[in-house]
Amino acid sequence: MIIMRAIDRKLMRDLWQMKSQAVAIALVVMCGVGTYVMFLTAQHSMRTTQDIYYRDYRFAQVFAQLKRAPESLRGRIQSVAGVDQVETRVTAQVRLDMPDFAEPVSALMVSVSESGRMGLNALHLREGRQPSRADEVVVSTPFAQAHALQPGDSFDAILNGRRQKLTLVGTALSPEFIQQMRPGSAFPDYKRYGVMWMGQQALGNAYDMQGAFNDLALSLRAGADAESVIDRIDELLKPYGGLGAYDRRDQRSNRFLNQELNQLGTLASLFPILFMGIAAFLLNVVIGRMVAMQREQIATLKAFGYGNLEVLWHYLKMVSVITGLGVVSGTVLGVWLAIKLSSIYMEIYHFPYLKFTLQPGTVLDAAAISLLAAGAGTVLAVWRAASLRPAEAMRPEMPARFHETGLEKLGIKRWLSQPARMIVRNIRRHALKSLLSMLGIAMACGIILTGLFQRDTVGYMVNVHFGMAQREDISVTFTDPTAYRARFDLQSLPGVRHVEVFRVVPVRLRHGHLSYRTGIRGVEPGGDIQRLLDTDLRQVDMPEEGLLLTDFLARLLDVKVGDRVLVEILEGSRPVREATVTGLVREYTGVSSYMNLETLNRFMHEGPTLSGAYLSVDSGQLQQLYVRLKGMPRIAGVAERVQEIRNFNRMMNETMLFFTYVATVFSIIIAFGVIYNSARIALTERGRELASLRVLGFTRTEISYILLGELGILTLLAIPLGLWLGEWMCYYIAHSMQTDLFRVPVVLMPRTYAFAALVVLVSAVVSGLAVRRRLDQLDLIAVLKTAE
């Protein structure tokens, strides 16, 4: 049998004695550590998975699209300094006619070598094999899943205007298309848009690209400068209708994925800091007060010759046990949540595998932060108690110096009963302690908002984006820029009530040394379906001249209204123009710029030309309309607004709802932990005084009123402060999460404030009841018999 030292037995028994408080503290630590471990582990795992996936499947580093270039150019591309592997491909946007699906479906068709050679952007075949015959295709796994396709199934596609039957021979994933989104859409919709791969020969034949290519992917030698390679490639491709080579960084799927992972990274740094910070603060305050109450025992230990360090070590051990409990449970919980979160991401991104890694450093950091916070609180409190002469520490604490509070001096005094005066004076007397308690409760209240605001915000974003700005029923995009008369063709289709057309031109906007690749959208003035909104969400009229920028883009480019920007058009003859920014518009998703349609056409030296149209449609005739649209070969894709909203919500729900849920549950636990501990500590600190009052004839209710009244006042003061703090935390999170993919406005519904306040109130009431039960058991005789 191991003989435990008496002082360690004291430790164990004291811990057992205060178990409910210890558990409440450990829970707070658990939430802090849990968030920390969850976010950092999930983020690290996703990053590792992404890196390994990119490496194993040779994701290219430079990409370029062009009109058409002969294979013979390949040699010259290969000889550009810094270029390692070269992959020339044919790609095409094709229309599909899925047998199970009434609406038009479009896909990006990408060529792969018929020989089965896998170069850059290799496919990860989930099922079947690579295409070898002209009518064979491999489709992306999520598209196959959305349409329940299996190897052997076939469907019709319109390749270069010709209808052709294609047979599916495999399903695959590609590092190049982790995010598969129709151009112009911010969310994947696997039922209506997919990626598929076809033999190079077959696709080349279909698009008159025998011995030619219109898509280029490169890998670079180690240490090569991507910018200079890109410049060189641009020169080479210029005569062949090059649309501007770009770095992996700007590759659509990669960029979207990075943004999402960066966002996860932002959350991974914000939430843990917030939660750990608050948990650490509370731990510090609670532990400090807990140790301070052991003042007399500390003095006794010292009287018998225990040194300050021994006493400190004793309490550090006690606190470490509690904190350790939180760290261990938090780590377990965090890992479990990280696995959950990673699997959500796996589902969204369809990675072929997950490299889940728990870094020991993450756990050690979390443990270190928790132990340090707890340790600091302990050291401070023990030091304060131990630095007193034991004789002094054993004496009852000096009656505190009380004063009439300012409030009372104002004349409110006569309305305050004696107990009420005790409450007010106590808060005033222990101003710092009261302030810290209040701050603790307020922070707990505040973080509840951080969990909930995202839900409110998403609802608001949908409302603004789809309710006020994008009001079309259906949007249609053409395969190529199309003459203006297509508008009248659309107008004459069944069920179409109103048509608004647009032109989209890929551009690079430059302002000083800042540049950004985006599109200019030419719109008709006075549009009713697509409305541009200013920063106050009022409709903006499209001016005759000049460029409107999304406010976020203006910030990226450091542009103000009235500034001139350089517009490099990445299409056709690629003219470079200047334009004046005449206004800013507010959009929560994407980074667009807008111009008057006619002005844009003039800008491009083209006649009235369109890229697509928005339709307002009689919903009764939707099915007929789809049938007609399916028959129009120039239409590349059709998007239904209802569907877009659904896609948007789904994407938000998949990721955000998880955070929201975890953050909310954790913040509720923290709120409860804090309030319960505040109440328990107050009880211990004030136990004697309250028991003395009972001896004087106060009833249980009266002393409860004194103790819980104080807690109540602090809670009530903490709630508005907490809501205000929470708002700031939300602003901070929203600000940190801004990407060009989307910006999150801070919208907090009244019910969210109410919920946060309610959680705090309920925690206070439950804690109050728990303490009330203990108040009923106060030992009155002991008070009379013993000193402090």
Partner 1 sequence: MTYPERGTDARLMFEARSLTKIYQMGEVEVQALRGVDLDLYAGEFVVLLGPSGSGKSTLLNILGGLDTPTGGTVRYDGHDLILDDDASMTQYRRTHVGFVFQFYNLIPSLTARENVALVTEIAENPMTPEEALALVGLVPRLDHFPTQMSGGEQQRVAIARAVAKRPQVLLCDEPTGALDAETGVMVLDVLARVNRELGTTTVVITHNAVIAAMADRVVYFGDGQVVRVACNADKKSAMELHW
Q: Beta-carbon neighbour count of residue 162 at 10 Å?
A: 9
Question: Among 365-373, 383-391, 418-426, 669-677, which window interacts with partner 1 (CB under 8 A)?
Answer: 383-391
Kindly state the smallest distance separating residue 335's Cβ from partner 1, in Å.
35
218: its two tokens: 């490169």
Q: Name 436's Cβ contacts closer than 8 Å, sequence gap at least 6.
A: 285
If the CB atoms of residues 17 and 701 are measured against partner 1, the closer one turns out to be 17
Smallest Cα–Cα separation from 326: which of 281, 280, 293?
280
Q: Please identify which residue in 1, 2, 5, 781 interacts with partner 1, judged by CB under 8 A.
A: 5
What mask, x for binding partner 1 by CB under 8 A, covers residues 260 to 299? ------------------------------------xx--
Regarding 631 and contact with partner 1 (CB under 8 A), the answer is no
Q: Please identify which residue in 89, 302, 465, 511 interacts with partner 1, judged by CB under 8 A.
A: 302
Q: Please identify which residue in 239, 307, 467, 562 interacts with partner 1, judged by CB under 8 A.
A: 307
If the CB atoms of residues 233 and 311 are measured against partner 1, the closer one turns out to be 311
Smallest Cα–Cα separation from 645: which of 466, 473, 468, 471?
466
Q: What's the CA gap between 212 and 237, in Å, rounded?
A: 13
Kindly state the smallest distance separating residue 289's Cβ from partner 1, in Å.
19
Q: Please identify which residue in 81, 303, 435, 642 interacts with partner 1, judged by CB under 8 A.
A: 303
Q: Please identify which residue in 391, 537, 561, 665 interacts with partner 1, judged by CB under 8 A.
A: 391
Sign of the four-CA dihedral 601, 606, 607, 609: negative
Kindly state the smallest distance separating residue 401's Cβ from partner 1, in Å.
6
Using an 8 Å Cβ cutoff, are 40 and 359 in contact? yes
80: its two tokens: 């550009």
251: its two tokens: 């590759």
Q: What's the CA gap between 155 and 144, in Å, rounded?
A: 12
Q: What's the CA gap between 467 and 533, in Å, rounded?
A: 12
Regarding 785 and contact with partner 1 (CB under 8 A), the answer is yes
Smallest Cα–Cα separation from 353: which of 368, 364, 363, 342?
342
Regarding 153 and contact with partner 1 (CB under 8 A), the answer is no
If the CB atoms of residues 181 and 388 are measured against partner 1, the closer one turns out to be 388
Q: Name 148's Cβ contacts closer than 8 Å, sequence gap at least 6.
A: 100
If the CB atoms of residues 297 and 678 are measured against partner 1, the closer one turns out to be 297
Sign of the four-CA dihedral 154, 188, 567, 83: negative
Q: Name 511's Cβ contacts closer than 8 Å, sequence gap at least 6.
A: 557, 558, 559, 563, 565, 566
Kindly state the smallest distance separating residue 15's Cβ from partner 1, in Å.
9
Kindly state the smallest distance separating residue 46's Cβ from partner 1, in Å.
48
Regarding 310 and contact with partner 1 (CB under 8 A), the answer is yes
If the CB atoms of residues 17 and 623 are measured against partner 1, the closer one turns out to be 17
* Strand pairing class (154-159; 474-483): unpaired
If the CB atoms of residues 300 and 515 are measured against partner 1, the closer one turns out to be 300
Smallest Cα–Cα separation from 280: which of 368, 356, 363, 373?
373
Q: Please identify which residue in 90, 169, 394, 729 interacts with partner 1, judged by CB under 8 A.
A: 394
If the CB atoms of residues 414 and 785 are measured against partner 1, the closer one turns out to be 785
Region 10-39 residues binding partner 1, contact defined as CB under 8 A: 10, 13-14, 17
Q: Please identify which residue in 398, 410, 696, 781 interacts with partner 1, judged by CB under 8 A.
A: 398
Give how far the C-alpha of residue 114 lies from the chain's centroid of Cα atoms, to the nearest Å.
Answer: 41
Size of the site for partner 1 (CB under 8 A): 32
Give alpha helix (H) positions in 197-248: 200-206, 226-237
Q: Please identify which residue in 308, 621, 684, 738 interacts with partner 1, judged by CB under 8 A.
A: 308
Q: Please identify which residue in 203, 233, 301, 337 interacts with partner 1, judged by CB under 8 A.
A: 301
Q: What is the per-residue DSSP string for 641-696?
A: HHHHHHHHHHHHIIIIIHHHHHHHHHHHHHHHHHHHHHHHHHHHHHHHHHHHHHHT
Region 401-440 residues binding partner 1, contact defined as CB under 8 A: 401
Q: What is the per-residue DSSP string for 329-350?
A: HHHHHHHHHHHHHHHHHHHHHT
Q: What's the CA gap between 726 and 732, in Å, rounded?
A: 10
If the CB atoms of residues 310 and 544 are measured against partner 1, the closer one turns out to be 310
Regarding 781 and contact with partner 1 (CB under 8 A), the answer is no
Q: Please identify which residue in 1, 162, 222, 304 interacts with partner 1, judged by CB under 8 A.
A: 304
Regarding 396 and contact with partner 1 (CB under 8 A), the answer is no
Using an 8 Å Cβ cutoff, are 221 and 82 in contact? yes
If the CB atoms of residues 390 and 608 are measured against partner 1, the closer one turns out to be 390
If the CB atoms of residues 235 and 310 are measured against partner 1, the closer one turns out to be 310
Interface residues with partner 1 (CB under 8 A) are 5-7, 9-10, 13-14, 17, 296-297, 300-308, 310, 387, 389-392, 394, 398-399, 401, 785-787
